[in-house]
Structure 1
Amino acid sequence: MREEILNYTQNRELSWLKFNQRVLEEAQDPKVPLLERMKFVAIFTSNLDEFFMIRVGSLFDMVASGVKTKDSRSGMTPKEQLDKIYEAVAPLYKERDKTYAEIKKQLHPYGVCGLDFKELEQGEKKYVKKYFKEQILPILSPQIVDANHPFPHLLNKDIYVTANLKVDNKNMLGIIPVPNFVSEVLYLPGHDIRYIRMEKVIMEYMELVFDHYTVTDKNYICVTRNADITPDDEALEINEDFRYLMKQTLHKRRRMAVVRLEIAEKLSPETEKYFCDKFNIRKEQIFRTKMPMKLDYMFAISGNLPDSMKRSLTYHPFSPQPARGLQDGSIMRQVKKKDVLLFYPFESMDPFLRLIKEASVDPNVMTIKITIYRLAKKARLVEYLCAAAENGKEVTVLIELRARFDEQNNIDWSERLEEAGCRVIYGFEGYKVHSKICLITYRNRNEIQYITQIGTGNYNEKTATMYTDLSLMTANKEIGEDASNFFKNMSIGNLDGLYKHLIVSPTTLKAGVLRMMDEEIKKGSAGRIVMKMNSVTDVDFIEKVSEASRAGVKVDLIVRGICCILPGVPEYTENLSVMSVVGRYLEHPRIFSFGKGADQKIYIGSADMMTRNTEKRVEVACPILDEDVKRQVNHYLEVMLADNIKGRNLTKDGNYIMRDQSEPLIDSQERFMKEVIYAQKVQNDKPKNLMDRIRKIFGK
């Protein structure tokens, strides 16, 4: 182990929990509209669910297998990491409960009321009881657990209502699964949005379900199971169909070990021991929550509000704007003349989709090739790719079936694409294909030419309105030739391809980034490095950042989530600053900037500086060669680095603190929304003039 690195690094799991605490802080911000604050509670909750399923699940496996290898960034064994995680999560539950209760209380005057049974009015209680007896009771599947009835398998993240039952001096456990095919909440009659969770309704009327028993100790519970299953864990037969293997993997995920038990009411010592024995867990893995275990319904409530209430309880409406610099008419024709950069969700994804649609019917287009990691449930992109294949174009889709929790969606789309005549390939054993690259090849007279798109985010039309991402469309011939070679290499299973402009993991991306960092290190205090990512865990990169800092290079990292390197540590990272932005939209671009002025190199791509991305995934980063586009990206970085409303600074002890709130106050996402709206008003300006005017009006 490189012992020195422990002086300026932290554990990745504890760093992630600090990030999720930042999400909870958005829920606590009184300047954020109330229902948006409740959504942040929901996001915090779903984030924590996935954290337990994947990260805790992985550590759980290591402990069960007797692994005692120490983490290279914290020096802790898997067992020690789990202990620290349970210790750190417990106070987060209490903070979340308090936050939820406060928001819920403030929503009541607006007529948005999540209720306990005791809070119902008399008429509402009658309504709920009638509804339960007529609509819910007939479809319940209650079970008892005794000597003749074994403890059932509880599904991951499903809610079960439980109680102790007694009859003829015999004690047993009663369990009722809350049906997945009924609404999570029961809305009450009236003009206000008054509702009660379905598990609370079932718990109230358990005596009607177990009518032969004495019912005590009512509760509802939810287990979280290890979901860290990948095909790499399976014995792959060379002729086995990959889609079939993925379907088997998804089935196996349902029966994995329990890593967490959530409870609504305090357990007696006897019941606590009973559940610990049944689920093979420790009491530290049991977490009590006073708020709903699922909050997805909050998004539906927000969508169904009358307009008058939406204005008070949600963010002001914003629709992605047309891309600056693009006119009506052919996208292909405009991209052939000049590089175009789209900035989601401030600008619409529509120009890229129109590009594919145009290509699908253009008689000069011969091939369309694309890598796909995640798609929306409804995807115009797939329609256009299928149309292209049906129009005689050669369409190649490299789709990653192992995109976690999107596996089934990708299986379904791969079948649809194949049916339309697309050539579908699946990547590599041991390496996920996470790149976001699309290549259109067309013939211009007798010359082969290209339009290449490189993105930082998925081709997902839903998340393109929720995540910030960059999407470059270029007709640069050398980048097109690189992209053509990339797809050829993917088709023949070659991970070692070399390219003139693109840097591609697992072979050249990390080496390329480290090489460009070395160039800045040689400049000493005249060097400059700015990088924006979602996570930083790669040890080689971390050591290089420390080396740059010690050489006097000013390094700024904008890291949304996990950051294992600590800034401001004397002798190691004194010239490093790390900030995180958590706001209305999920920050997602990966931008790598090296140097200043005419010598500056900027890359955008799909990779975080995580070992899994740099060594175990196929990732692509592309240089920004167009000066106007480079000016745009620099502007985005400048504004984000200046964000002192949603931005937080990481300290050398691993905590996040508010930034200096002196003027000018800058919320980077709010600024970008204003800028694209302004850009539409002066859309006839040349790109350089437009950026100058934006700086003059908005600053930065």
Structure 2
Amino acid sequence: MLAGHTDRSMDALNDLSRNELYLNRELAALEFNFRVLAQARDPRMPLLERMRFMCISSSNLDEFFEVRVAVLRQHISYGDARPGPDGLPPGEVLARIRERALALVGEQYLVWAEELQPALAEEGVRFLTRDRWSARQKRWLQGYFRNEILPVLSPLGLDPAHPFPRILNKSLNIAVVLEGRDAFGRAGHMALVRAPRSLPRLIRLPAQVSDAPCEFVFLAGLLQQFAAEMFPGFTVQGSYQFRVTRNSELTVEEEEVENLASALTAELIERGFARPVRLEVAENCPKPITDLLMANFELTEQDVYRCAGPVNLSRVVSIFDQVDRADLKFRPFTPRLSPSLVQGANVFEVIGKRDVLLHHPYESFQSVMEMLRQAATDPDVLAIKQTLYRVGSDSPLVEHLVEAARAGKDVTVVVELRARFDEEANIRLANRLQSAGVQVVYGVVGYKTHAKMLLVVRREGRKLRRYVHLATGNYHQITSRLYTDIGLMTAQAEIGEDVHKVFQQLSGLGPTIKLTRLLQSPFTLYKGLMQRIEREIRHAGAGKPARIIARMNALNEPSVVEALYRASTAGVEIDLIVRGACTLRPGLPGISERIRVRSVVGRFLEHSRVYWFANDGAPELFCSSADWMERNLMQRIEVCFPILDATLAQRVYDETLANYLSDNAQAWILQPDGHYERVARGDGPSHSAQRTLLAKLTG
């Protein structure tokens, strides 16, 4: 028996797959949004940034219903009631989700009404409800409604000739109760007004009718106030906002289609009208109206969420760029250029001598763009290969790839068409690249290509040399300013050879490849992680110091959690920095008492994946595109790359691991029961990991 363990804890060692040792993955994902919303309540945050955090929590909840709740409902409809590792069947999970979602929605509207709106009003940023319009403002708004809104509306009266229409996913709608008869003698009972997407959801009042520097009115308020003008001859008895959320998971059976792009295009057309999963209604919406909506959407009372404010709360974020108040926003910063890649430097000469590390958003993504730009124009560059998952519209990166192809270079791009919510943009991207002569590959059927890789093949004298960029984040200029990520530029031959083999595998057909330096999902990454966890267990068993530090977006793979439990019981010290969902329960006596889990939520979205293993004094550090989730380790194409340069590895350790373990300003600690507690600052100085890096790395 291990010293210090009771018979009971030894029994636990023999059964680390018990349901009670695992948190539910959906509930853990939902819990993240409470931490995001807490930023909106933090008085240390600039006021408009607090508002944006509230909107992020709201839009995150939309996606949660579109994807996670939708999938659970599908399982139930298919008769699949199998529980997950936590032992909860889908029906029970849905019931618990409703309980927590109701709490989150209630808190969102409370923060909006009682904290953010009053604070914004004090700063001259006001949101006017109909009961607060002055006579002058009402006249202007009525004119705006008649000239800018009414001409594009298509109100629909409900009767046998006009049945309940198809309602677009997450669109703003108004249910209007009418009394009277129209020109044809038809009695009016109820009508629907859909707000076209072309209309702004918030209208800013002009200076001549404003009583404050910035005053806004919700579009829904105008539609309700002037509803009578849409239905002349009728009396409006009431008007109520509603919004339906639909399943947004695409269900293309890839093995059964001949052309994935065409199949996805057809599926995307119907996505906006897929099966409903949630109905949001105004708080004062009468039960008969709610019942009618539920019946038409085939939903139950358990799917209805009453909103104490605008049903499209996330749209408030649209004012962020309209309000010119630098004092209410984060101080702008200028990402520094990597000291190794000074202005005008030949990227290939620099990388050919030493590896270059990039830490975004503190260091500029422009270094990556410059590598691609130089590759496109360098006459010695023969080939460029790249994976693209999310790119963003009008990215210069695409222009460089097009330029390279037109210059006669061999350009191959693996475009992942199934990047959730970017499918349509990626289909357009693929078509544009193909029209320029780029060889476009859609990856591997059944496996999303999530790896972030760029390979440049260059002739140098009589030899060909490979230059590589590997990253934890996407090739996306906008998110590179908002997400924390690590990128590595290297010309190390073994890494270049590995990346070359992965690209060959993606674009061709062949057997499993053997890699020297990289770990790859779905083949060697999972196995490599498990082997390294087992190695730390052996070191602990031999009385040697053993430790694992890892950061990621999410952790839910049961076998990895079980391996970490075994490591903890063996004496391995484990620190996990998990931004979002974590299904591991830390701090359980005799099981996970050596495991600590923290989440850091701040100005930037934590997106880096970094794994560190003590390895008996010869530590290994890896960066990766993969979280420790089943989908990343088993069902996607991912790469995990080592930082071989000792100086750079130490820098990654210091900046992304040790720095975050010291955070006492924006860190949350996961408790054994699944809830999070904010780190207590104590008597010492405040330490924010993100602010520390801003001060250290930016201009």
Report the TM range for the smaller structure's normalisation: over 0.9
CA gap of 1:186–1:33, structure 2 versus 1, over 3 A, is same
The 5 A counterparts of 1:454-603 are 454-494=470-510, 496-524=512-540, 526-595=545-614, 598-603=617-622
- Checking the alignment, whether the CA contact within 8 Å between 1:368 and 1:394 is kept in structure 2 is yes
**CA shift in 2, pair 1:494/1:648, >3 Å:** farther
Amino acid corresponding to residue 194 of structure 2 in structure 1 = P
Deviations 1:324-380 (A, max 9, x none): 443331122111111111011011001111011111111221111111100011211
User: 1 CA distance for matches of 2:511 and 2:571?
Assistant: 36
- In structure 1, the partner of 2:333 is 318
- Amino acid of the residue matched to residue 108 of structure 1? A
Mapping of residues 359-374 of structure 1, within 5 Å = 359-374=375-390
Q: Give me the whole-angstrom Cα distance separating, in 1, the residues matched to 2:16 and 2:599.
A: 27
Deviation at 1:290, TM superposition (A): 2.2
Is 2:103 the partner of 1:87? no
**2:374 corresponds to which residue?**
358
Counterpart-to-counterpart distance in 1, 2:697 and 2:152: 52
- CA offset at residue 187 of structure 1? 1.4
Aligned to 2:37, which of 1, 18, 24?
24
* Conserved 8 A contact 2:521-2:634: yes
- Cα deviations by residue, 1:166-191 (Å, 9 ceiling, x for unpaired): 23695622100012112222211217
Question: Take 1:360 and 1:495, find their aligned partners in 2: how far apart are those partners?
Answer: 32
Q: By how many angstroms is 1:300 displaced? A: 4.2
Aligned length: 671
Structure-to-structure mapping, 1:238-257, within 5 angstroms: 240-257=258-275
Contact 1:331 1:355 in 2 (8 A): yes
Measure the CA separation in 1 of the matches of 2:251 and 2:449: 14
Native 8 Å contact 1:8 1:567 kept in 2: no
Corresponding residue SS for 1:526:
coil
Contact 2:360 2:484 in 1 (8 A): yes
> What is the CA-CA distance between 1:554 and the residue it aligns to?
0.4
What is the CA-CA distance between 1:535 and the residue it aligns to? Answer: 0.4
SS in 2 for 1:523: helix
Q: Residue in 1 aligned with 2:11?
A: none
Specify the SS of the correspondent of 1:546: helix
Paired AA for residue 459 in structure 2: R
CA distance in 1, matches of 2:286, 2:311: 20
Q: Residue in 2 aligned with 1:641?
A: 661
Q: CA offsets per residue over residues 98-122 of structure 1, 9 Å max, x none?
A: 1111101111122211110111122
For 1:291-302, list aligned pairs within 5 A: 291-295=309-313, 298-302=316-320
Structure 1 Cα separation of the partners of residues 123 and 388 of structure 2: 43
Q: Is the 8 A contact 1:5 1:543 kept in 2?
A: no
In the aligned structure 1, how far is the partner of 2:582 from the partner of 2:365? 29
- 1:609 correspondence with 2:621: no
Cα deviation digits, residues 535-589 of structure 1 (max 9, x gap): 0011111111101111110001100001000100112111000000010000000
Q: 2:291 aligns with which of 251, 273, 294?
A: 273
Q: Give 3-state SS (helix, strand or coil) of 1:366's partner.
A: strand
Report Cα offsets for 1:231-258 as digits up to 9, x if no partner. Answer: 23x6723xx3221111012112122111
Tell me the residue number matched to 1:660.
680
| 1:127 partnered with 2:148 | no
| Aligned residues: CA RMSD | 1.7
Q: Which amino acid aligns with 2:482?
A: M
Could you tell me whether the CA contact under 8 Å between 1:436 and 1:458 is conserved in 2? Answer: yes
Alpha-carbon deviation of 1:27? 0.6
C-alpha deviation, 1:298, in angstroms? 4.3
1:339 is aligned to 355
Identity level (%): 34
- For residue 389 of structure 1, the aligned residue among 398, 405, 410 is 405
In the TM superposition, what whole-angstrom CA distance separates every residue of 1:627-671 from its partner, at most 9, and x where no partner exists?
A: 111011111111011111001110101111121313131110000
Distance 1:598 1:645 in 2: 31
Aligned to 2:49: 36
The Cα of 1:67 is off from its aligned counterpart by: 1.1
Question: What is the letter of the counterpart of residue 444 of structure 1?
Answer: E
Letter in 2 for 1:222: R
Question: Counterparts of 1:631 and 1:664 in 2: how far apart (Å)?
Answer: 24
What CA distance in whole angstroms lies between the structure 2 residues aligned with 1:171 and 1:3?
Answer: 64
Contact 1:582/1:646, CA 8 A, preserved across alignment: yes
Match for 2:168: what amino acid?
L
| Contact 1:302-1:310 within 8 A present in 2 as well | no
Runs of at least 5 residues in structure 2 that lack an aligned partner in the other structure: 1-14
2:10 is aligned to none
What's the counterpart of residue 224 of structure 1? 245
1:476 deviates by 0.5
Distance 2:317 2:338 in 1: 28
Give the CA deviation at 1:428.
1.4
1:64 and 2:80 correspond: no
2:124 corresponds, among 94, 111, 114, to 111
What is the alpha-carbon distance in structure 2 between the residues aligned to residue 602 and residue 230 of structure 1? 37
C-alpha contact (below 8 Å) 2:241/2:311 kept by paired residues: no
1:4 is paired with a residue of what secondary structure?
A: coil
User: What is the identity, as a one-letter code, of the residue corresponding to 1:272?
Assistant: T
| Change beyond 3 A, Cα 1:597–1:666 | farther
Q: Please name the residue that 1:691 is paired with.
A: none
Do the aligned partners of 1:141 and 1:177 also contact (CA within 8 Å) in 2? yes
Find the aligned partners of 2:511 and 2:478 in 1 and give their Cα distance.
31
1:206 is matched by which residue type in structure 2?
A: A
CA distance in 1, matches of 2:669, 2:512: 38
Q: Check the 8 A contact 1:374/1:406 in 2, yes or no.
A: yes
* Corresponding position: 1:213 with 2:225: no
Is the contact between residue 495 and residue 506 of structure 1 (CA under 8 Å) also seen in structure 2?
no
Structure 2 matches for 1:136-147, cutoff 5 A? 136-147=149-160
Whole-Å separation in 2 of the counterparts to 1:170 and 1:387 = 63
Q: Which amino acid aligns with 2:25?
A: R
Aligned to 1:674: 695
Bigger CA drift: 581-590 or 494-503? 494-503
User: In 2 relative to 1, CA 493–80 (structure 1 residues): closer, same or farther, beyond 3 Å?
Assistant: farther
The answer to whether 1:452 aligns with 2:473 is no
Contact 2:157 2:188 in 1 (8 A): no
1:415-434 superposed matches below 5 A = 415-434=431-450
On the 8 A contact 1:230/1:402 being kept in 2, the answer is no
* Structure 1: 5+ residue stretches without partners: 681-700
Structure 1 residues 542, 481: closer, same or farther in 2, change over 3 A? same
**1:533 is matched by which residue type in structure 2?**
M
Using structure 1 for the length normalisation, give the TM-score.
0.93
Q: 105-114 or 2-11, which moves further after superposition?
A: 2-11
Q: Secondary structure at the match of 2:488?
A: strand
* Structure-2 separation of matches of 1:370 and 1:181: 35
Picking from 44, 51, 54, the partner of 2:67 is 54
Moved over 6 A (4+): none
Q: 1:282: which partner in 2?
A: 300
Q: Deviations over 1:198-240 (max 9, x none)?
A: 11101111111122223223101000001111423x6723xx3
Is the contact between residue 8 and residue 573 of structure 1 (CA under 8 Å) also seen in structure 2? no
Partner SS for 1:303: coil
- Specify the alignment match of 2:190 in structure 1: 173
Q: Distance in 1 between matches of 2:509 and 2:191?
A: 54
Deviation at 1:598, TM superposition (A): 4.7
Q: Deviations over 1:33-67 (max 9, x none)?
A: 11000000110011000000000010111111111
Return closer, same or farther for 1:654/1:514 CA change in 2, 3 Å cut-off: same
- The 2-side partners of 1:407 and 1:257 are apart by 19
